[in-house]
Amino acid sequence: MATKKCSCKKAGCAKATSPAAKKAVPAKAAKAVAKKAAPKPVKIFHDKDVDTSILEGKTVAVMGYGAQGRAQALCLRDSKVNVIVGVRPGKSFKAAKNDGFPVMSVDKAAKQADIIHILLPDESHKDVYAKQIAQYVTPGKTLCCSHGFAYVFKNIVPPEGVDVIMVAPKGPGTEVRRVFEEGFGCPGLVAVFQDASGNAMKTALAIAKAEGLTRGGVLECTMQQETYEDLFGEQNVLCGGIVDLMKYGFETLIEAGYPPEMAYFECIHEAKLIVDIIYNKGIAAMNAVISNTAEFGEYYNGPKIITPDVKARMKESLKRIESGEFAKVWMKESAKGAPTLAKKRALLAQHPAEVVGAKIRKLFER
């Protein structure tokens, strides 16, 4: 990646006199695009907007003690919420015990809890709920989750008389915990799927605040919006899209005779540098710190690679998600022990990008 051009605003600056800089979108056209693209504003809640008193005297059972389960349980407890952990015997049981939580089986935790917060893998919700939780979901209780998959695709059908809410940190569990301990919070989403008490949103927001999420800002959405958008983003951009783009770029260079180590740097390693800038300041800021050559190449070659037909296929992907087709395929795959997933993992481990990547990453070990 070439280094950046001058960022000053003097008359002779390369950026200021570049062809790209001279082009401007007509004011009327810009306003028309903005008006057409402007979505309905979402509500954003912060600490000052939320009262956590609704959690007083309540017991929250965190079901599962993986990265999210541990992070959310610890943050809730630090905020003086009464937390118990429901998990089967094993590594997670011992970890929760070592962290000082009352730990028990899922069914016992469900029986004791006022708020049942299920943080298990999507594919296990249906079976665990049916066998260990459902009988204890009585009127007045609340079901909570951090991803709406099970409810939107009806793997869990809640009874009447209970609230069903979602509190979803927009970050991995390790990040949720880290920023909480630093005195800030990971942004998140809240949604109400079923409001039997009339206070479901108050409960969701109170949990979000107790986990530190309202320090960063919590957006109100529907569970369907979160589920569909989350699956779409993972499959088309964040995981499926980026990973395949990296692999194709890497393969193209080594098949043309370029050193694999250099191909790894150019197509995989440096992606973090670019994404970090976008994460912190946005796409325009990223373009402001790369070279003019790199930026012009973005406009020149990018649209030739990611063509309009990619967007068309993304729309087809979204339809498969919204229709429930993907969920059915995944649940069927999971029920068989996920053999296809296991094969894909094995193949990826053998890909030259992974082999070369392991070698390159050792260069950065301290």
Would residue 117 show up in a list of annotated catalytic residues for this protein?
Answer: no
> Please, are residues 210 and 180 in contact by the beta-carbon 8 Å criterion?
no
Best CA proximity match to 348, nearest among 340, 359, 338:
340
Token output for 250: 């890497």
pLDDT confidence of residue 366: 80
| Extended strands (E) in 174-225 | 188-194, 218-220
Residue 99 is encoded by which pair of tokens? Answer: 């962290």
Q: Which of 46, 125, 147, 269 is catalytic?
A: 147
Q: Specify the DSSP element, H or E, that contains 90.
A: none
E strand spans, the chain: 44-45, 59-63, 82-86, 103-104, 115-118, 142-145, 163-169, 188-194, 218-220
What is the dihedral angle through the alpha carbons of 205, 210, 215, 218, rounded to the nearest 10 degrees?
-30
pTM of structure: 0.84
pLDDT at 41: 80
pLDDT score of 337: 94
Query: Block means of pLDDT (10 residues each) for the chain, length 366 residues?
Result: 50 40 46 55 92 97 96 97 96 96 97 97 95 97 97 96 97 94 95 97 98 96 96 94 96 96 95 94 95 95 95 96 96 95 94 92 86
Which sign does the torsion angle of CA 129, 130, 133, 136 carry? Answer: positive
At 147 the pLDDT is: 95
DSSP-based three-state secondary structure for 245: helix
The Cα 59–Cα 83 span in angstroms is 6
